[in-house]
Amino acid sequence: GEKKGLLYGLQVVYFVHRQNDTVLVAQDGQDEVNWIKRAEAVTPDGQICPVGMWRLKKVKVEGAGDQVPRTGGVCVIEHIVSGKYLATNEEGYTVLSPMLYDEGCRWSFLAHSEAQHTGLGVGEVVWLLQEPPEGEDQAKRRIWLSDSSMQNAQGTTFCGQGVLQDGKEPDNTDVVELRTAPPKLTASVEVVRRSQETLGAILEHLKANAVPVDPDLPDDERVKAVKYTPLGPMLRRILPVFEPIMARLINGCTFSNEQDPILRTGPPHAAHQDLLRQIGAINTSIAIASHLLNDLNLPLPVVKKQLPLAWRLGRLCYKLVEMASFNHPTNKLHLSAEVSGFMKHARAEVGAYFAMVEVYKDTKSLLNDLSKEHFAMYLRFLKTTRSSRILEFLTITVRCNGEPLRRNQNMVAGMIFDEMRSMIYQVEITEDDILLRDVSGLAMEADTFNNFAKGTEPEAATPPPPFYAGGIR
């Protein structure tokens, strides 16, 4: 146990079940609450992961400083990663509820020791009780039961959901220990969560106020149409808030002294990358970029030159996705379903290509899951855009950690030599010219070659403007 001392108001704690060494956690993106083995709930540095962190909040506060949790005092228990509250469903299983005043959200503690405390102590061993709604018979409150208590009756394991039962006397198999979370880790979670709340508000603001343009207009006409919508003034207001938030989230993904988020490299910070996924910042960033580039029908090939404010927003969104995936297998798997959307945005030069490569690079499970349908989609993109980026991406799909992937090699080779022969040219260099000959042996005309050369500029062909913590200079 930990060194004793009273818990203070709004303390963040872990619930550790002593009997079977498990921790109470809410899994990624789910509302289920489970006990899992402590060994499976720790970060590489030995700390319990943030999805097992809970904040104690008293329901009734009598005066200043009265937030101190006490034996028998009623409180709600907030999951600090999701912002939701520990509750129970109709079957008695523990879940997360978004409603602070949900009837199943009221809890109290019964100290295991015989000593009387003015408040709960750090490392205190307690029984966790669920309180009935106000006004109901207090005898109806139910005792928290660990799954280990129910093993003989239900055949469950202790790595499942907690259950509740009426009228059972607490025994030593049900006690949990209150362990305090490290303040530094708690602060990191709070920063990411507040940032995510702001990003969510920005997304909703864009959805509510930005006006899409006609997708059938030529690119130059769409640029003119965009300038008659509220998008420009909105982005000028949003960017001073958006840029420092994104810089902080991006820079947290690696250990480095470089402050420019676009240029920053270094060893990955896995705990921060986990938080970005668990709290939802990665998905919100993708949603902002998708709304901007898809839903508003912006002309992708000219976004960087003609709509620089929109480009800045999209570039930071995709940089966050790229860095959150950097050497992080769980985040790569989480993002794999989004890659087809990244490819659509490659022509906007917002970093979508780099994010796509980072997700798939040396990730064998994802590379082995690529199907004929995936490669057919890449073929369609290659035919319509004639972008060298697609070919570069295909080179990522045929090897993993230096080892060839024969299945993918065969599919790519078949796609190129069977279905794309018209795009393969024999190169002939003379003293004055470079001649390209197609499969029939005919030389490509110079103006045709020049038109292809102008098709899609390489992503990030010119360096982006310098970023810093306070915005873009």
Q: What pLDDT is attached to residue 71? A: 66
Report the C-alpha gap between 396 and 364 in whole angstroms: 11
Kindly list the distances between the CA atom of residue 172 and the CA atoms of 18, 130, 362, 456, in Å, as whole numbers in the listed order: 9, 17, 49, 69
Q: What pLDDT is attached to residue 373? A: 86
Question: Average pLDDT in the 83-98 region?
Answer: 84
| Proportion of the chain above pLDDT 70, given as a percent | 74
Whether the Cβ atoms of residue 229 and residue 213 lie closer than 8 Å to each other: yes
H or E stretch at 37: strand 33-37
pLDDT in tens, 180-229: 888 888 999 999 999 999 999 999 999 999 999 999 999 999 999 998 99
Q: What pLDDT is attached to residue 434? A: 74
Residue 300, SS3?
Answer: helix
Confidence of residue 148 (pLDDT cuts 50, 70, 90): very low
pLDDT in tens, 425-451: 677 777 777 776 665 555 555 544 444
Q: What pLDDT is attached to residue 451? A: 47
Confidence of residue 130 (pLDDT cuts 50, 70, 90): confident
Neighbours of 211 (CB within 10 A): 11
Question: Average pLDDT in the 294-304 region?
Answer: 93
Give the closest residue to 386 by CA, choosing from 354, 360, 420.
420
Q: What pLDDT is attached to residue 347? A: 85
pLDDT in tens, 373-413: 888 888 887 777 777 778 888 889 999 998 999 999 999 88
Q: What pLDDT is attached to residue 356? A: 92
Residue 147 has pLDDT above 60, yes or no: no
Residue 267 φ then ψ, to 5°: -60, 140
H or E stretch at 250: helix 231-251
Q: What pLDDT is attached to residue 443? A: 54
Residue 140 has pLDDT above 70, yes or no: no
Of the two residues 376 and 58, the one the predictor is more confident about is: 376
Q: What pLDDT is attached to residue 438? A: 64
Every domain of the chain and the residues it spans:
12-180, 187-424+456-472
Whether the Cβ atoms of residue 110 and residue 72 lie closer than 8 Å to each other: yes
Q: What pLDDT is attached to residue 88? A: 81
H or E stretch at 358: helix 352-360
Report the C-alpha gap between 270 and 287 in whole angstroms: 23
Confidence of residue 85 (pLDDT cuts 50, 70, 90): very high
Residue 50 has pLDDT above 70, yes or no: yes
Q: What pLDDT is attached to residue 63? A: 45
Q: Please indicate, yes or no, whether the overall pTM of this predicted structure exceeds 0.85.
A: no
Report the C-alpha gap between 88 and 31 in whole angstroms: 11
Q: What pLDDT is attached to residue 210? A: 92
pLDDT in tens, 232-260: 999 999 999 999 999 999 999 999 999 99
Question: Average pLDDT in the 337-342 region?
Answer: 86
Whether the Cβ atoms of residue 113 and residue 121 lie closer than 8 Å to each other: no
What is the dotted CATH code of the domain comprising 12-180? 2.80.10.50
Q: What pLDDT is attached to residue 379? A: 82
